[in-house]
Amino acid sequence: MTNMRQATTAQIRRFEPDLGWFFRTPEGIHGLGHETRVLIWSQILSSMVREENMGVDSDVVGWVAAFHDTQRWNDGIDAGHGTRAADWILERPSWLSSSIPIEEVAYVCRWHVPGDEEAPAMTPELKVFKDADALDRWRIDDHDPAYLRTNATKKMLDARYSLWEATHGFVHVDEMFEQILIVALSQGILVSD
């Protein structure tokens, strides 16, 4: 994994999504598998963008990865799902430690859906999260690196394909999170601790 940093399994486990959070189902293209892969990319990107002089709160983007698509009503554009996720977490402040800026978590959830130009501000956390989310687009071959917001993400295009290829067919949600971590370990994307 040249040019790519690794995250640890313990770091990823801090943000493990709960199956009960999903409004519809933790299965499917915006389910637990997607959120777990985006979570992994969010933590690696948060570390890598420091080389681009971007300071990113990795806790914020980790929690956004865990929450951002849980309130979908369907697998289409579903333009309201970011706003619903933001409002849903703001109604549950006890879920996050007091050291986590819940307003920032909600902000990135809210604005991860529309185009960059619509967001009031493209904060470092919103840029990194949108790139992490883009690395797991279901039509992965449609991906156009020209639209990425950080240089670090462009170094991860091969790794994201190998992780997606090896894990997108997983169907058993009870084991899915750990199975994806095992694959990421075997591919050198994560290290254990």
Binding site for Fe ion (CB under 5 A): 69, 133
Q: Rounded CA gap, 35 and 29, in Å?
A: 9
Residue number with CB closer to Fe ion (55 or 134) = 134
Burial of 5 (0-12, 13-18, 19+ CB in 10 A): middle
Report phi then psi at 15, rounded to 5: -115, 25
Residue number with CB closer to Fe ion (57 or 131) = 131
Q: How far is the CB of 175 from Fe ion (least distance, A)?
A: 21
Q: How far is the CB of 99 from Fe ion (least distance, A)?
A: 25
Residue number with CB closer to Fe ion (130 or 184) = 130
Q: How far is the CB of 72 from Fe ion (least distance, A)?
A: 7
Q: Which of 72, 64, 65, 67 is nearest to 29 (CA)?
A: 72
Q: How far is the CB of 14 from Fe ion (least distance, A)?
A: 19
Q: How far is the CB of 193 from Fe ion (least distance, A)?
A: 26
How crowded is residue 81: how many other Cβ atoms within 10 Å of its Cβ? 22
Residue with tokens 């499917």: 28
Query: How many residues does the structure list for the chain?
Result: 193
Residue number with CB closer to Fe ion (57 or 69) = 69
Residue number with CB closer to Fe ion (117 or 193) = 117
